[in-house]
Amino acid sequence: MRMDHRPANIGRPGMLLGLLLLSACNAGPDYRPPSVSDLRIPDQFQSASTIAAEQDMVDLARWWESFEDPVLTQLVDRAFAGNLDVSAAAARLRQARATLRGTQGQQLPQVGTSASVSRSIGADSRARIDPTTGQTIGSGGDTTVYRGGFDVSWEADLFGGLRRQVEAARASAEASEATLRFTQASIASEVGLNYVEARLAQIRLRIARENLAAQDDTLEIVGWRQKAGLVSGLDVEQARQLRAQTAASIPTIENDYATAVNRIAVLLGDAPGAVNALIDPPASIPLAPGVDAPIPAQVIERRPDVASAERALAAESARIGVQTAQLYPALRLSGSFAGSATSIGDVISSGLGSLVAGITAPIFEGGQIRAAILGQRAATDAAYYAYRKAVLTALEEVENALKGREVAERREADLAVSYEAANNSNRYAQLQYRSGLIDFQALLDSQRARLSSQDAAAAARAARASATIQLYKALGGGWQMAPIPAPGPYEGGSRPAQPQRESE
């Protein structure tokens, strides 16, 4: 139940001064971002001591350019322009900004108008006789009547409820923009990771086919030696088994390559197969330099997902004020004017107007308003915990990425030595087998070791490149210079073309 009072005189100076003073009040708490101490941010990362300083710092805003791979750069730029997740996030940002403009409009007076023209035709032109009464209808000359009017209404934001709504809408729009930026950073890293997977698959295919050719040669040699009575059929069957095992791995690797390339096409907003011609020419796995170990607080400032969570917290805090303002009176001013005359110039002079001020205030709402306030405070607490979780998750991802890159570098170095040793061992084994110094089992073992070490070395290089990409993403790079996609077909006033039915 709300009480409605209409004061007899709203023009008193004291009342106007009181309204001005009240309009400076804002219900609810004034938002302040949580401090570094509240978030428990450490001074440095644990893995910082394991990362060597780099002389050439990487530009995190466009980290993919540090790989010096023009194909990768082209793919990431195309993903920013065509990725559907990015386009959807951009549309949600424009929606949030439109909501903000609409909320700001609630603070302004609302004005409406109406107008009409009516004309009656007299007997001189179209008079007729009523057959029932015998009277003449429409006698007299032609008459034109003009009517016009307008109405104005405005709600005085005495306790800042509307201002808090604008504050919440602005924070929500900023959160939507940060979400867009996080989506762009995620898409850039996903394109990079799939690109590395595609290049790794190409290298593994080359390794498997080279080893398959070598094993074909070995199988041929063993067959000759069997015909000469120098070895038994056991050696032939073992050679066949190893050759078939290597051949069986090729379809799986081809599938891995197709999966990565198709995924890249979809990330670019295209159908599978759209980027095959660009990626099909084999190339090596690109590598990029690392970065200096950052300060945790700097990471929090750069990460758009953390910014999105913080802005969501600000919006929820402002909504406490929106609910709290419902406890206090509300003043609404409204005025109207209406007039009619036989000429346009006389409509205003013949009109009448009115101005009404109404105050509404809650008396008994069954605890609904205070329950809504408590619920909104709980929602703000939930947003605070979500923000703290986003901060901790960001720190965790950086820690893991720093450690992952360090481990990948060490593993790549060790596996390079392993492959070199396995390759040398295989050459010695082939020479000794042909000389009859070792049996065929020793030769097979050396071939298996060579294939395994070669494949592992390639995978280690890819793991290092992937760890670097994940580090760049964890540090909050990849969105700073990304463009915001243009509005879609519905925002432009047209709908996408619909497929016609066969009957049409």
What does the pLDDT look like over 71-124, one tens digit per residue?
A: 999 999 999 999 999 999 999 999 898 999 998 888 888 887 877 778 776 544
| Residue 490, phi then psi, degrees to nearest 5 | -70, -35
Counting the structural domains of the chain, the total is: 1
Question: CATH code at 296?
Answer: 1.20.1600.10
Query: What six digits make up the tokens of 398?
Result: 């950086």
Residue at 381 is within a domain: yes
- Give me the pLDDT at residue 182, please: 93
Cα gap 186→298, rounded to integer Å? 19
**Phi and psi angles of residue 45, each rounded to the nearest 5 degrees, phi first:** -80, 150
> Going by C-beta distance under 8 Å and a sequence separation of 6 or more, which residues neighbour residue 307?
174, 175, 178, 181
Q: Using 50, 70 and 90 to split pLDDT, how confident is the model at 57?
A: low
Residue 115 within any structural domain of the chain = no
Confidence of residue 435 (pLDDT cuts 50, 70, 90): confident
Tell me how far apart the alpha carbons of residues 483 and 487 are, in angstroms, rounded to a whole number.
Answer: 12
Sign, Cα dihedral of 89, 92, 96, 102? positive
Q: Report, as an integer, the average pLDDT of 131-151.
A: 62
Share of the chain above pLDDT 90, in %: 38
Query: Quick one: DSSP state of residue 61?
Result: G
CB proximity list for 245: less than 8 A, separation 6 or greater? none
Q: Above 80 in pLDDT, residue 167?
A: yes
Please indicate, yes or no, if residue 68 is contained in any of the structural domains: yes
Within-domain flag for 431 = yes
The residue among 264 and 105 whose pLDDT is bigger is: 264
Query: Token digits for 372?
Result: 């809504």
Residue 181, judged by CB atoms within 10 A of its CB (0-12, 13-18, 19+), counts as buried
pLDDT of residue 54: 44
Whether residue 12 is predicted with pLDDT greater than 60 in this model: the reply is no
Domain that holds residue 251: 29-109+158-328+375-474
| 335 part of a folded domain | no
- DSSP 3-state assignment of 7? coil
| 3-state SS, residue 2 | strand
Tokens of 86: 């990015």
Of 269-283, 323-337, 341-355, 459-473, the poorest mean pLDDT is in 341-355
pLDDT (tens digit per residue) in 305-359: 999 999 999 999 999 999 998 888 888 888 777 777 777 766 676 667 677 777 7
Q: Which residue has the tokens 């073309």?
A: 497
Q: Is residue 270 part of a domain?
A: yes
- Number of Cβ within a 10 Å radius of residue 140: 12
Quick count: other Cβ atoms within 10 Å of Cβ 93?
21
Query: Would residue 380 count as lying in a domain?
Result: yes
Closest CA to 322 of 141, 160, 497, 86: 160
Q: What is the dihedral of CA 472, 475, 478, 479, to 10 degrees?
A: 170
Does 149 map to a domain? no
